Amino acid sequence: AQSVTQLGSHVSVSEGALVLLRCNYSSSVPPYLFWYVQYPNQGLQLLLKYTSAATLVKGINGFEAEFKKSETSFHLTKPSAHMSDAAEYFCAVSDLSGGSNYKLTFGKGTLLTVNP
């Protein structure tokens, strides 16, 4: 069975500071990994995805994430935070450990606050 742990339900950074959101996964087979962002009263927007190609994945809005198999991690980073980055971020994993089930298993989410 697959699972996702996001360390820190709330992360607060200053504008211009590094953003680091942590995600660890558990999967018995090679996973596909995703980061989504959710703004208030909206759905989820895909930031980036890892599908077994390059381990460093670049996404939209300046975000990137690195897949580290040895650490079972897929942390999300951005060099310089903007006020517009304030939102909730979800890490998700999908694999075929359940057969043909491509469902996404999500972490609990990390609320990012950006202070001026």
Partner 1 sequence: KAGVTQTPRYLIKTRGQQVTLSCSPISGHRSVSWYQQTPGQGLQFLFEYFSETQRNKGNFPGRFSGRQFSNSRSEMNVSTLELGDSALYLCASSLRLGNYGYTFGSGTRLTVV
For 67, the token pair is 């897949």
The secondary structure of residue 60, as a DSSP letter, is G
By CB under 8 A, residue 109 contacts partner 1: yes
Query: Which one of residues 14, 28, 51, 115 is an interface residue with partner 1 (CB under 8 A)?
Result: 51
Closer of 17 and 44 to partner 1 (Cβ): 44
Smallest separation, CB 96 to partner 1 (Å)? 9
Closer of 82 and 103 to partner 1 (Cβ): 103
Answer whether 78's CB lies under 8 Å from 57's CB.
Answer: no
By CB under 8 A, residue 84 contacts partner 1: no
User: Got the DSSP string for 73-115?
Assistant: EEEEEESS--GGG-EEEEEEEE-STTSS----EE---EEEEEE
Query: Which one of residues 14, 28, 101, 115 is an interface residue with partner 1 (CB under 8 A)?
Result: 101
Query: Which one of residues 49, 64, 66, 97 is an interface residue with partner 1 (CB under 8 A)?
Result: 49
Report CA Rg, the chain.
Answer: 14
